[in-house]
Amino acid sequence: MYQWNLPYRKDDLEAGGGSRSRPLYPTMHETPELRWGFIRKVYSIIAFQLLATIAVSATVVTVRPIALFFATTGAGLGLYIVIIITPFIVLCPLYYYHQKHPVNYLLLGVFTLALAFVVGLTCAFTNGKVILESAILTTVVVLSLTVYTFWAAKRGYDFNFLGPFLFGALIVLVVFAMIQVFFPLGRTSVMIYGFLASVIFCGYIVYDTDNLIKRYTYDEYIWAAVSLYLDIINLFLSLLTIFRALQR
Protein backbone atom coordinates (compact mmCIF):
# COMPACT_ATOMS: atom_id res chain seq x y z
CA MET A 1 0.00 0.00 0.00
CA TYR A 2 1.40 3.40 -1.00
CA GLN A 3 1.66 6.28 1.45
CA TRP A 4 -0.29 9.32 0.25
CA ASN A 5 1.41 12.57 1.17
CA LEU A 6 -1.10 14.91 -0.45
CA PRO A 7 -2.98 17.05 2.10
CA TYR A 8 -6.39 16.97 0.43
CA ARG A 9 -9.31 18.75 2.09
CA LYS A 10 -12.99 18.56 1.35
CA ASP A 11 -13.05 22.08 -0.07
CA ASP A 12 -10.17 21.13 -2.41
CA LEU A 13 -12.23 18.32 -3.85
CA GLU A 14 -15.29 20.51 -4.17
CA ALA A 15 -13.20 23.14 -5.94
CA GLY A 16 -12.14 20.51 -8.44
CA GLY A 17 -15.71 19.73 -9.41
CA GLY A 18 -17.25 20.03 -12.83
CA SER A 19 -14.91 18.77 -15.54
CA ARG A 20 -12.47 17.51 -12.89
CA SER A 21 -15.08 15.04 -11.64
CA ARG A 22 -15.04 13.23 -14.99
CA PRO A 23 -12.45 10.51 -15.77
CA LEU A 24 -9.24 11.69 -17.42
CA TYR A 25 -9.20 8.58 -19.63
CA PRO A 26 -11.78 5.90 -20.47
CA THR A 27 -10.40 3.08 -18.26
CA MET A 28 -9.84 5.28 -15.20
CA HIS A 29 -10.92 3.61 -11.92
CA GLU A 30 -9.46 6.00 -9.34
CA THR A 31 -11.17 9.16 -8.08
CA PRO A 32 -10.67 11.93 -10.69
CA GLU A 33 -10.52 14.66 -8.03
CA LEU A 34 -7.56 12.98 -6.35
CA ARG A 35 -5.71 12.58 -9.64
CA TRP A 36 -6.36 16.24 -10.52
CA GLY A 37 -5.05 17.24 -7.09
CA PHE A 38 -1.90 15.23 -7.75
CA ILE A 39 -1.49 16.83 -11.18
CA ARG A 40 -1.89 20.32 -9.73
CA LYS A 41 0.75 19.57 -7.09
CA VAL A 42 3.24 18.33 -9.69
CA TYR A 43 2.75 21.35 -11.94
CA SER A 44 3.08 23.68 -8.95
CA ILE A 45 6.47 22.14 -8.16
CA ILE A 46 7.53 22.47 -11.80
CA ALA A 47 6.45 26.12 -11.82
CA PHE A 48 8.65 26.86 -8.78
CA GLN A 49 11.53 25.00 -10.43
CA LEU A 50 11.18 27.02 -13.63
CA LEU A 51 10.92 30.30 -11.72
CA ALA A 52 14.07 29.42 -9.79
CA THR A 53 15.81 28.49 -13.03
CA ILE A 54 14.84 31.81 -14.64
CA ALA A 55 15.99 33.79 -11.59
CA VAL A 56 19.36 32.03 -11.30
CA SER A 57 19.99 32.10 -15.06
CA ALA A 58 19.10 35.79 -15.30
CA THR A 59 21.52 36.56 -12.46
CA VAL A 60 24.35 34.66 -14.13
CA VAL A 61 23.68 36.33 -17.49
CA THR A 62 23.37 39.89 -16.19
CA VAL A 63 26.20 39.80 -13.63
CA ARG A 64 29.06 39.39 -16.09
CA PRO A 65 31.86 38.76 -13.52
CA ILE A 66 30.20 35.44 -12.63
CA ALA A 67 30.40 34.10 -16.19
CA LEU A 68 33.88 35.53 -16.70
CA PHE A 69 35.11 33.82 -13.54
CA PHE A 70 33.99 30.43 -14.84
CA ALA A 71 35.26 31.09 -18.37
CA THR A 72 38.71 32.55 -17.64
CA THR A 73 40.02 30.99 -14.42
CA GLY A 74 41.18 27.49 -13.56
CA ALA A 75 39.22 27.53 -10.30
CA GLY A 76 36.13 28.57 -12.21
CA LEU A 77 36.54 25.70 -14.67
CA GLY A 78 36.93 23.19 -11.84
CA LEU A 79 33.87 24.58 -10.09
CA TYR A 80 31.93 24.46 -13.36
CA ILE A 81 32.70 20.75 -13.72
CA VAL A 82 31.49 20.18 -10.15
CA ILE A 83 28.26 22.07 -10.86
CA ILE A 84 27.67 20.07 -14.05
CA ILE A 85 27.97 16.70 -12.32
CA THR A 86 26.03 17.79 -9.21
CA PRO A 87 22.54 17.19 -10.73
CA PHE A 88 23.54 13.66 -11.76
CA ILE A 89 24.92 12.94 -8.28
CA VAL A 90 21.85 14.34 -6.54
CA LEU A 91 19.49 12.26 -8.73
CA CYS A 92 20.55 9.06 -6.96
CA PRO A 93 19.61 10.08 -3.39
CA LEU A 94 16.63 12.01 -4.75
CA TYR A 95 15.26 8.82 -6.31
CA TYR A 96 15.80 6.97 -3.03
CA TYR A 97 14.31 9.69 -0.81
CA HIS A 98 11.66 11.10 -3.15
CA GLN A 99 8.96 10.01 -0.68
CA LYS A 100 10.77 11.28 2.45
CA HIS A 101 9.63 14.75 3.48
CA PRO A 102 11.40 17.22 3.86
CA VAL A 103 14.57 15.54 2.55
CA ASN A 104 13.00 15.21 -0.90
CA TYR A 105 12.41 18.97 -1.13
CA LEU A 106 15.94 19.79 0.04
CA LEU A 107 17.46 17.48 -2.56
CA LEU A 108 15.08 18.85 -5.19
CA GLY A 109 16.26 22.38 -4.35
CA VAL A 110 19.93 21.44 -4.74
CA PHE A 111 19.19 19.64 -8.00
CA THR A 112 17.21 22.57 -9.42
CA LEU A 113 19.72 25.27 -8.41
CA ALA A 114 22.68 23.33 -9.83
CA LEU A 115 20.91 22.74 -13.13
CA ALA A 116 19.74 26.37 -13.21
CA PHE A 117 23.33 27.52 -12.84
CA VAL A 118 24.38 25.32 -15.77
CA VAL A 119 21.58 26.80 -17.88
CA GLY A 120 22.65 30.31 -16.86
CA LEU A 121 26.29 29.70 -17.84
CA THR A 122 25.12 28.28 -21.17
CA CYS A 123 23.06 31.39 -21.83
CA ALA A 124 25.75 33.79 -20.58
CA PHE A 125 27.68 33.61 -23.85
CA THR A 126 24.62 33.43 -26.11
CA ASN A 127 22.93 36.25 -27.96
CA GLY A 128 19.84 37.54 -26.17
CA LYS A 129 17.71 37.17 -29.28
CA VAL A 130 18.63 33.49 -29.52
CA ILE A 131 17.72 32.95 -25.86
CA LEU A 132 14.36 34.67 -26.33
CA GLU A 133 13.55 32.67 -29.47
CA SER A 134 14.42 29.40 -27.72
CA ALA A 135 12.37 30.30 -24.63
CA ILE A 136 9.29 31.28 -26.66
CA LEU A 137 9.45 28.17 -28.83
CA THR A 138 9.96 25.96 -25.78
CA THR A 139 6.93 27.49 -24.07
CA VAL A 140 4.71 27.02 -27.12
CA VAL A 141 5.84 23.43 -27.70
CA VAL A 142 5.46 22.40 -24.04
CA LEU A 143 1.99 23.89 -23.71
CA SER A 144 0.88 22.42 -27.04
CA LEU A 145 2.16 18.91 -26.25
CA THR A 146 0.67 19.02 -22.75
CA VAL A 147 -2.77 19.99 -24.04
CA TYR A 148 -2.53 17.39 -26.80
CA THR A 149 -1.59 14.61 -24.35
CA PHE A 150 -4.51 15.39 -22.04
CA TRP A 151 -6.82 15.51 -25.07
CA ALA A 152 -5.47 12.21 -26.43
CA ALA A 153 -5.71 10.49 -23.03
CA LYS A 154 -9.34 11.57 -22.77
CA ARG A 155 -10.01 9.74 -26.05
CA GLY A 156 -8.28 6.55 -25.01
CA TYR A 157 -4.82 6.99 -26.56
CA ASP A 158 -1.91 5.54 -24.62
CA PHE A 159 1.73 6.57 -25.05
CA ASN A 160 3.37 4.04 -22.75
CA PHE A 161 4.77 2.23 -25.81
CA LEU A 162 7.10 5.21 -26.43
CA GLY A 163 9.25 4.36 -23.39
CA PRO A 164 11.66 1.81 -24.96
CA PHE A 165 11.99 3.79 -28.21
CA LEU A 166 12.75 7.04 -26.40
CA PHE A 167 15.29 5.35 -24.15
CA GLY A 168 17.05 3.85 -27.16
CA ALA A 169 17.01 7.21 -28.94
CA LEU A 170 18.44 8.87 -25.83
CA ILE A 171 21.35 6.41 -25.77
CA VAL A 172 22.08 7.19 -29.42
CA LEU A 173 21.96 10.91 -28.61
CA VAL A 174 24.43 10.53 -25.72
CA VAL A 175 26.86 8.56 -27.89
CA PHE A 176 26.50 11.13 -30.66
CA ALA A 177 27.31 13.92 -28.18
CA MET A 178 30.41 12.06 -26.99
CA ILE A 179 31.57 11.69 -30.59
CA GLN A 180 31.11 15.44 -31.02
CA VAL A 181 33.32 16.11 -28.00
CA PHE A 182 36.24 14.05 -29.29
CA PHE A 183 35.67 14.37 -33.05
CA PRO A 184 33.88 17.64 -33.85
CA LEU A 185 32.10 17.46 -37.18
CA GLY A 186 31.18 21.12 -37.59
CA ARG A 187 28.07 23.28 -37.53
CA THR A 188 25.91 20.86 -39.54
CA SER A 189 26.43 18.02 -37.08
CA VAL A 190 25.65 20.37 -34.18
CA MET A 191 22.37 21.31 -35.83
CA ILE A 192 21.56 17.63 -36.43
CA TYR A 193 22.28 16.91 -32.77
CA GLY A 194 20.03 19.78 -31.65
CA PHE A 195 17.23 18.66 -33.96
CA LEU A 196 17.38 15.03 -32.79
CA ALA A 197 17.49 16.11 -29.15
CA SER A 198 14.47 18.39 -29.66
CA VAL A 199 12.43 15.57 -31.20
CA ILE A 200 13.42 13.11 -28.46
CA PHE A 201 12.52 15.47 -25.61
CA CYS A 202 9.25 16.39 -27.27
CA GLY A 203 8.51 12.67 -27.18
CA TYR A 204 9.52 12.54 -23.52
CA ILE A 205 7.15 15.41 -22.68
CA VAL A 206 4.26 13.42 -24.15
CA TYR A 207 5.43 10.19 -22.48
CA ASP A 208 5.94 11.71 -19.02
CA THR A 209 2.69 13.69 -19.19
CA ASP A 210 0.86 10.47 -20.04
CA ASN A 211 2.52 8.83 -17.03
CA LEU A 212 1.44 11.81 -14.92
CA ILE A 213 -2.16 11.25 -15.96
CA LYS A 214 -2.25 7.46 -15.62
CA ARG A 215 0.68 5.77 -13.93
CA TYR A 216 2.45 7.86 -11.29
CA THR A 217 1.25 7.09 -7.78
CA TYR A 218 0.26 9.92 -5.44
CA ASP A 219 3.50 9.75 -3.46
CA GLU A 220 5.68 10.12 -6.58
CA TYR A 221 4.99 13.82 -7.08
CA ILE A 222 8.68 14.76 -6.71
CA TRP A 223 9.86 12.25 -9.28
CA ALA A 224 7.06 13.21 -11.69
CA ALA A 225 8.06 16.88 -11.38
CA VAL A 226 11.75 16.09 -11.92
CA SER A 227 11.00 14.10 -15.07
CA LEU A 228 8.94 16.83 -16.70
CA TYR A 229 11.31 19.58 -15.54
CA LEU A 230 14.24 17.76 -17.17
CA ASP A 231 12.23 17.35 -20.37
CA ILE A 232 11.51 21.09 -20.51
CA ILE A 233 15.08 22.17 -19.72
CA ASN A 234 16.59 19.73 -22.21
CA LEU A 235 14.17 20.86 -24.91
CA PHE A 236 15.17 24.47 -24.28
CA LEU A 237 18.89 23.63 -24.44
CA SER A 238 18.35 21.62 -27.63
CA LEU A 239 16.58 24.52 -29.34
CA LEU A 240 19.29 26.85 -28.04
CA THR A 241 21.88 24.60 -29.71
CA ILE A 242 20.07 24.82 -33.05
CA PHE A 243 19.67 28.61 -32.98
CA ARG A 244 23.27 29.15 -31.89
CA ALA A 245 24.49 27.01 -34.78
CA LEU A 246 22.28 28.96 -37.20
CA GLN A 247 23.59 32.25 -35.81
CA ARG A 248 27.16 31.24 -36.54
Boundaries of domain holding 98: 29-247
Does 151 score more than 50 pLDDT? yes
Tell whether 172 is covered by a domain: yes
Tell whether 50 is covered by a domain: yes
CB-based burial of residue 11 (10 Å sphere; 0-12 exposed, 13-18 middle, 19+ buried)?
Answer: exposed
Confidence label for 4 from pLDDT (cuts 50, 70 and 90): very low
Tell whether 4 is covered by a domain: no
Tell whether 243 is covered by a domain: yes
Tell whether 12 is covered by a domain: no
Q: How many domains does the chain have?
A: 1
Cβ proximity of 235 and 202 under 8 Å: yes
Q: For 32-79, how does the pLDDT look when each residue is reduced to its tens digit (9 = 90+)?
A: 899 999 999 999 999 999 999 999 999 999 988 888 888 888 888 888
Tell whether 24 is covered by a domain: no
CB-based burial of residue 142 (10 Å sphere; 0-12 exposed, 13-18 middle, 19+ buried)?
Answer: buried
Cβ proximity of 212 and 39 under 8 Å: yes
Q: Determine the pLDDT at residue 246.
A: 84
Q: Determine the pLDDT at residue 197.
A: 94
Q: For 170-218, how does the pLDDT look when each residue is reduced to its tens digit (9 = 90+)?
A: 999 988 888 877 777 778 888 888 999 999 999 999 999 999 999 898 9
Q: For 207-248, how does the pLDDT look when each residue is reduced to its tens digit (9 = 90+)?
A: 999 999 998 989 899 999 999 999 999 999 999 999 988 876
Tell whether 11 is covered by a domain: no
Give the burial string for 211-228 (b: 16+ CB within 10 Å, else e): bbbbebebbbbbbbbbbb
Tell whether 218 is covered by a domain: yes
Q: pTM for the whole thing?
A: 0.88
